[in-house]
């Protein structure tokens, strides 16, 4: 008799998994499976962290069961990509995946073929998304529009003046509401000479380093 684990998920705390549990227990009985663990999550399907699913995967890696029964595929994964990742891990662990509502069973040839089809469709979808993004970026470049993060509108002359009056990188970052790295980059690009007693810029440290002598 194969050992089976059940996984149920409901979206909100006021919902109850009893309907899913009843159907899965009946399915396990019909297939002559021994239920060894039951996992339940009461959490939105979009959440990445699910305590019940995480524990289920940990038990699967320890070899605690050979069959995983779920009420529906969308109860397990938050996306097609995540669903395929779960299926792939079940396959590597030689665990059969059975879905009650979709009548999907990876223990048979038809179930394995359906998983392959889902994988191909998901890969096609990813390719189409990537191509649409690239096409949009090409069009934006042709139209002269900026791509990426909006450029910072910094008063470079003011930064240089404040630095010349002795302000540190931290003080400048606070004054202009940007990071110390941004301030350092602006000063490097403006080739600002550092007043005596102030720390050097990274490029200035390199310029002021004494030449190495041959051993």
List, for residues 1-54, the tens digit of each pLDDT value: 899 999 999 876 657 788 899 999 999 999 999 999 999 988 775 666 788 999
Q: Measured on CA atoms in the order 156, 159, 164, 168, is the torsion positive or negative?
A: negative
Domain tally for the chain? 2
CATH of the domain at 60: 3.40.50.1390
Final residue in a domain of this structure, among 50, 72, 107: 107
Neighbours of 196 (CB within 10 A): 5
Nearest one of 102, 126, 128, 124 to 114, comparing CA atoms? 102
Residue 101: which domain range? 3-107
Is 172 part of a structural domain of the chain?
yes
Residue 4: the pLDDT is: 96
Give catalytic residues, as residue numbers.
Answer: 11
Is 138 part of a structural domain of the chain?
no
Give the Cα-Cα-Cα angle 37, 42, 46 (nearest 5 degrees): 115
Is 212 part of a structural domain of the chain?
no
Residue 26: the pLDDT is: 95
Note whether 87 and 176 are same-domain residues. no
pLDDT digits (tens, 9 = 90+) for 63-87: 999 999 999 888 887 777 788 888 8
Is 182 part of a structural domain of the chain?
yes
pLDDT digits (tens, 9 = 90+) for 134-173: 888 888 778 777 666 666 677 888 888 888 888 888 888 8
pLDDT digits (tens, 9 = 90+) for 84-130: 888 888 988 999 999 998 888 888 787 778 777 776 766 667 677 77
Is 64 part of a structural domain of the chain?
yes
pLDDT digits (tens, 9 = 90+) for 186-198: 888 877 655 445 4
In angstroms, rounded to a whole number, what is the distance separating the alpha carbons of residues 61 and 58? 5
């Amino acid at each position: 008799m194969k050992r089976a684990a059940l996984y149920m998920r409901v979206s909100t705390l006021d919902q109850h998994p009893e309907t899913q549990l009843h159907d899965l227990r009946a399915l396990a009985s019909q297939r002559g499976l021994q239920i060894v663990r039951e996992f339940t999550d009461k959490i939105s399907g979009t959440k990445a962290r699910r305590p019940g699913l995480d524990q289920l995967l940990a038990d699967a890696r320890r070899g605690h069961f050979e069959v995983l029964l779920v009420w529906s595929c969308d109860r397990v994964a938050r996306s097609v990509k995540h669903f395929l990742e779960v299926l792939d891990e079940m396959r590597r662990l030689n665990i059969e995946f059975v879905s009650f509502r979709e009548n999907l069973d990876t223990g048979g040839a038809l179930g394995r073929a359906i998983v392959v089809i889902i994988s191909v469709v998901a890969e096609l979808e990813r390719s189409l998304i990537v191509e649409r993004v690239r096409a949009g970026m090409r069009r934006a470049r042709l139209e002269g529009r900026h791509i990426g993060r909006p450029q910072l509108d910094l008063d470079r002359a003011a930064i240089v003046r404040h630095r010349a009056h002795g302000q540190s990188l931290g003080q400048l970052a606070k004054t202009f509401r940007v990071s110390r790295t941004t301030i350092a980059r602006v000063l490097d690009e403006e080739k600002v000479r550092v007043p005596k007693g102030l720390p050097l810029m990274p490029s200035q440290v390199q310029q002021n380093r004494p030449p190495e002598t041959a051993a």
